[in-house]
Structure 1
């Protein structure tokens, strides 16, 4: 008979084996924990780098609300997308359109809300088709701005267009824009003495339209003159002035390409290579002369600058800073003249590189007649009606709440992001 295999006896591990196994297990645990800690540390380093290099300086600000219209919030990312769309990829223009895009975002939201009340809407299909036809980015900012463009067209054609009459009284007018009452009086005296209105307007009018057309505005319906000339209220006076009469209209808001400096030097380098200048920019020679007289009478320069200067800054006030001898400032000759005494105020210095507000219209109504409204006038009146409606929405602070959180730092950030 075959001999059966006897079961082998199981011997308990020796204390030496147990100690070895325990050390081995402990080493494995240490290696495992060390590996886990290393992985966590690597992840933490990566996350820390992302947090401080991407999230804090970029992602977090991009999520912040920068504009709010009637509870509808618009983020920095939205604003940046809008800047990219409006700039058309021309990054060099972005810094010049910051305020325009901000205002457009506000206007489009108000327009969208108010248009619904008028029964005028734009569908998503219309927006999608426009984006496709023009190969545009399809993000929310672009969609909203496209909606605004399409709404504008519908509002002007379907709502404001029908309100314009087929015929209306129209007036034929001559006009020129002058800087002051005293200049207007002088020009009117020249005309009364036989000077040609057109020649004078072509050479001295501070409005590009009347200068280019030698003061001839032709015949237009009421409302068109304000639109063409960028004024407000001029039309009303034109249509209440008797035919054949001269008139004048003070326009405090119209911008013109001229101003007058009063400046003084407060410090000079020993070699006269740099001078520290304080100054105020005034609307007309007449105003500058009047302020100079008050200064000569002992009134305070900064106090008058704060009241009258169109170059006043709440931060730098009337301080024009230090300038060097290669400056192109209109007042350079005066401030670097070695005969100019410290603290002495200059006579008025004309500067055609500066823009100021305010002036006077000299005009004459040549004729009045009821005629068909021309296609151009109709377009101008429609656009004016639309712009007036939109401006009224923005100015209605009772029914429309607009909050703007964009400061200079945020605008700089937006410019950088939109340019990248």
Structure 2
């Protein structure tokens, strides 16, 4: 006969035991709840630390959009990679690249979009090959830079090259740059032959190419002289004149490595080797002497500084350089103004400075010959092709200004530069 299943024994607890069990369960609930609270607090603190130390300080700024081209957006992380590419990762002078890199990113995108409309594109395989060949970092910013570079070469070869003729009218000339009309007149007075001109140009010209080439500008087509010699005025004269005599051509925009300081020392601190001085950076001795004469006649230093000085921020400081040290100005200038016997509150004679660049000068120029249909050199054709590309990109940017935004703040610029050292 089968046994009946054994029934579990029903236990009975005293009131004291029941009370004890209830107290134990209560303590367990309290301990459990307290444990969860502690864990929550710890996680919250860790979360706050991560939020403040990583999200706020690193993740958020790196993912902030700072540049746009239409619907295309570029964040700080992208910009840092581009900046690292163009600076080699050197943060010391990176600040001076900020604007150029920002503009290059935007211009590259405009160029890629426009070229695509024209039927010119670069494949990913071409980009991969260029990155591998040049051992570049394979990140989106660098890929875009490589794409634009390859596209530039393609446009030059396939689009702009056919637009430049093989032959054209070319003109041969002699030229040298002097600091002023007075200086040019004095030099020209001693020249009677082209050989004498060549010797003077090699000695005195303030434009590097004409100095190196002894004043000789070989046969050149229109559109190359401005680029090679930094003077639109010079090119206009050479391609418009019908005479073959020497002429003086004023050029207010040409850049040259020659300046003159007009200084007035106001105070001196002997213990700290500082002086408080007024200063103007002027383009020629002729201008410096004219300004000094006007000061002597009672005109205001500030007004004349704003009108003539080529120092930065002259509109704000009115030519007052404040307290400066010996190293604040070129050594030959410092030797004079820091001399212990320099007379205070007196405008000093102009001091020549061949370390600073200023705008403005005067050309001595002579047209030598004209060839109406001369073969262009390869170098001149490359220059004309590059000029066409530059004009194309300038027009492209001008036509799309409404698509471009730059919201870089000083804080984000500083942040971006610091990332180069990481």
The reply to whether TM is greater than 0.5 is yes
Q: CA deviation at 1:344?
A: 2.7
Contact 1:62/1:77 (<8 A) preserved? yes
Cα shift at 1:268: 2.2
Return the offset for 1:134: 2.6
Alpha carbons of structure 1 residues 242 and 48: separation in structure 2 relative to 1, 3 Å: same
Please name the residue that 1:392 is paired with. Answer: 395
User: Within 5 Å, which residues of 2 pair with 1:14-413?
Assistant: 14-89=14-89, 94-192=94-192, 196-242=196-242, 244-271=244-271, 273-313=273-313, 318-325=319-326, 329=330, 330-369=332-371, 370-396=373-399, 400-406=402-408, 408-413=410-415
CA drift at 1:211: 1.0
Mapped pair 1:414 → 2:416: yes
Q: Is the 8 A contact 1:394 1:400 kept in 2?
A: no
Contact 1:180 1:286 (C-alpha < 8 Å) held by counterparts: yes
CA contact (8 A) 2:259 2:354 kept: yes
Instruction: Output the aligned Cα RMSD.
Output: 3.0
- SS for the counterpart of 1:165 is coil
- Give SS of 2:240's match: coil
- Asked whether the 8 Å contact 1:280–1:312 carries over to 2, the reply is no
Whole-Å Cα distance in 1 between the matches of residues 7 and 366 of structure 2?
Answer: 134
Describe the shift of the 1:110–1:250 C-alpha distance in structure 2 as closer, same or farther (beyond 3 A). Answer: farther
Q: 1:280 to 1:49 in 2, by over 3 A?
A: farther
Give the total of aligned pairs.
418
C-alpha spacing 1:142/1:6, structure 2 compared with 1 (3 Å): closer
TM-score scaled to structure 2, two decimals?
Answer: 0.88
Partner of 2:29, secondary structure, is: helix
Partner SS for 1:121: coil
Cα deviation digits, residues 78-113 of structure 1 (max 9, x gap): 211111112344555634533332232232122123
For residues 175 and 189 of structure 2, the distance between their equivalents in structure 1, rounded to whole angstroms, comes to: 15
Local SS of the residue matching 1:331? helix
1:90 & 1:101 partners in 2: Cα distance?
14
Question: In structure 2, how many angstroms separate the alpha carbons of the residues matched to 1:105 and 1:351?
Answer: 38
Distance 1:345 1:238, change over 3 A: same
Q: Which moves more between the two structures, 184-193 or 313-322?
A: 313-322
More displaced 10-residue stretch of structure 1: 232-241 or 323-332: 323-332
How far has the Cα of 1:147 moved from its partner? Answer: 1.3
Aligned pair in 2 of structure 1 residues 35, 387: CA closer, same or farther (>3 Å)?
A: same
Q: What SS does the aligned partner of 1:137 have?
A: coil
SS in 2 for 1:418: helix
Deviation of 1:66 after TM superposition, in Å, equals 2.6
Alpha-carbon offset, residue 71 of structure 1: 4.6
Q: Distance in 1 between matches of 2:178 and 2:188?
A: 11
Shift in alpha-carbon separation, 1:82–1:297, aligned structure 2, 3 A: same
Which range moved further: 135-144 or 336-345?
Answer: 336-345
Tell me which stretches of 4 or more aligned residues in structure 1 moved more than 6 Å: 3-7
* Gap change, CA 1:272 and 1:339, over 3 Å in 2: farther
Q: Matched residue of 1:196: which SS? A: helix
Distance 1:143 1:203, change over 3 A: same
